[in-house]
Chains A and B, each alone.
Chain A
Amino acid sequence: MNAPILSTGAAPAVLVMSEAVFALGLALLLVSPLAIAGVALINTGLGRSRSAAQALVGSLAIVAITAIVFALVGASVAGVLGGAGWSFHAAGKSWNWIGNGPFLLGGFGAATPRTQLAVVFEFLSVAMAALIPWGSGADRWRLTAGCAAAAVLAAFVFPLAAHWIWDGGWLTALGINFGLGAGFLDPGGAATVHALGGLSALVVVWIAGPRRGKFPKEGLSTAMPGHNAVYVLFGCFVALAGWLAWNAAGAIVWLCAPLSTLPLTVVNTLLCASSALAATFAVTRIRFGKPDASLCANGWLAGLVASSACAALVMPGAAIFIGAIAGVMTPLLVELFELALSIDDPSGAIVVHGASALWGILAAGLFAHAAGQFLAQLVGISALLGVFLPLVYLLFASLNRIVSFRVDPDGERIGMDLHELGGGAYPEFVIHRDESYR
């Protein structure tokens, strides 16, 4: 079996890419939006029926807005199309901290094949990153505010992370500047997409607050199960197809992986998800007497998220272990967050995308077998928690003063579909009195 690819130093920016590799990379990127579709379907199914249409139309709007804003501003801040970027010198090292590429995708047509694929990859990544918090704000986050938050993420926050991690920023250069393995590695977007999205989801939940009736004045929190388990579970299948392509495309674009290593990346992705599902299945079976469908779906997705960090870097045995840990911690953390920490996260995105991504990043350092790689991954995690979480909080809290995140109580009572769209997703359903309102 071919060993996983792990180059030393920064990713070669001007590596010549053959037409066959370019065609394969583009084909994989054309399949990757299935991962976005799967997450959108899962988020919708885990929300309530009275907000289903708003959830899906919001997902579409977020994909559209992120694409436009990233093309207008974000790609320039990320520096994906080149440009030296803004650097400062400290302690005898150069710290490249923000890109200054051309606006409006200038020079895209004349860019190298690898750069063109990187641009497409980042378009998909920014859409996924902005979609993740949308699920956590389900049933109370206004559509306008969700779109505004997506625009903020696409204009500045995601591009800054992408520059640091993918486009020649200081985290990429940790290998060269400080001898830390190959620098911070994130071929599938575990940090740039999922950890960033998960941390943004935490901020949204903090700012918007819990759903009405979720934490009553007396007693335990109210269970508000997702309205359609079929959407959720079918979304897992759709996400798998997208994730297999996404991780393989990431290996081509960010690691310049030879084609012979791609089947290993694909198998590792599947193994991570499978062992995570098996672990969640076992944990929920032991804790509740029967396996829980929505938590199993969350476990599956957590395995896929963890694979984003490590599928191209580890061997199959390690992939099974990494997925299993993600699968064990998902139901336990979901329960902890809801019951002990009063965090109302309908889609479980904080755990599924945030915590699992952080675990995957750490595990990539543990199993990648390169000197200093573990420390490089730790520094990346430190940047995510110490810079991006406070930054997103600052930006979203400011935005909340301009465009209120939370819908008014009447809108929450009648449902986001009727309040924001004027019509429901299931017009033939009989609306029952909601027992959760006390």
Chain B
Amino acid sequence: MKYAGLLVMPAGFFLTIAALVMFPDGAARAAFAACGLAVEAMGLAVAVRGHMVRDGEGRP
């Protein structure tokens, strides 16, 4: 799961870049870029959750 989260994050980045290229208009561009950031945030959340130490498992 941790790798899936890390793979989702570049996808969010490319959404943000796509917003710059596809939308010359300010509001649509900002909204699309915000969606890209939201995807990155979801990926980060999944990666963090994947790395969490579970009860009684893998604790040094």
A contact residues vs B (CB 8 Å cutoff)? 90-91, 93, 174, 178, 180, 206, 209-212, 215-217, 341-343, 372, 374-375, 378-379, 381-383, 385-387, 389-390, 393, 409
Contact partner of A385 (CB less than 8 A), chosen from B2, B12, B17, B56, is: B12
Interface residues on B, range: 20 to 34
Confirm or deny: B1 has a beta carbon within 8 angstroms of a beta carbon on chain A: no
Q: CA of A387 to CA of B53 in the docked complex: distance in angstroms?
A: 25
Whether B6 and A409, one on each chain, are in contact in the complex, defined by CB atoms closer than 8 angstroms, is no
Whether A386 and B60, one on each chain, are in contact in the complex, defined by CB atoms closer than 8 angstroms, is no
Contact partner of A372 (CB less than 8 A), chosen from B12, B14, B26, is: B26
Closest to A385 in B: B40
B contact residues vs A (CB 8 Å cutoff)? 2, 6-7, 9-14, 16-17, 20-21, 26, 29-30, 33-34, 36-37, 40-41, 44, 48, 51-53, 55-56, 58-60
Number of A-B contacts (CB under 8 A): 78
Whether A382 and B16, one on each chain, are in contact in the complex, defined by CB atoms closer than 8 angstroms, is yes
* Residues of chain B within 8 A of A389, CB atoms compared: 6, 9, 44
Whether A386 and B52, one on each chain, are in contact in the complex, defined by CB atoms closer than 8 angstroms, is no
Whether B6 and A386, one on each chain, are in contact in the complex, defined by CB atoms closer than 8 angstroms, is no
* Residues of chain B within 8 A of A409, CB atoms compared: 60
* Residues of chain B within 8 A of A342, CB atoms compared: 52-53
Interface pairs (29), CB distance under 8 Å: A93-B21, A206-B2, A206-B51, A210-B59, A211-B60, A212-B60, A215-B53, A216-B59, A217-B56, A341-B48, A341-B52, A343-B48, A378-B33, A378-B34, A379-B33, A382-B12, A382-B16, A382-B33, A383-B13, A385-B9, A385-B12, A385-B41, A386-B12, A386-B16, A386-B36, A386-B40, A389-B9, A390-B6, A390-B10
* Residues of chain A within 8 A of B10, CB atoms compared: 386-387, 390
Q: CA of A378 to CA of B11 in the docked complex: distance in angstroms?
A: 15
- When A178-B20, A342-B52, A378-B34 are in contact, do A386 and B13 touch as well, CB less than 8 Å? yes
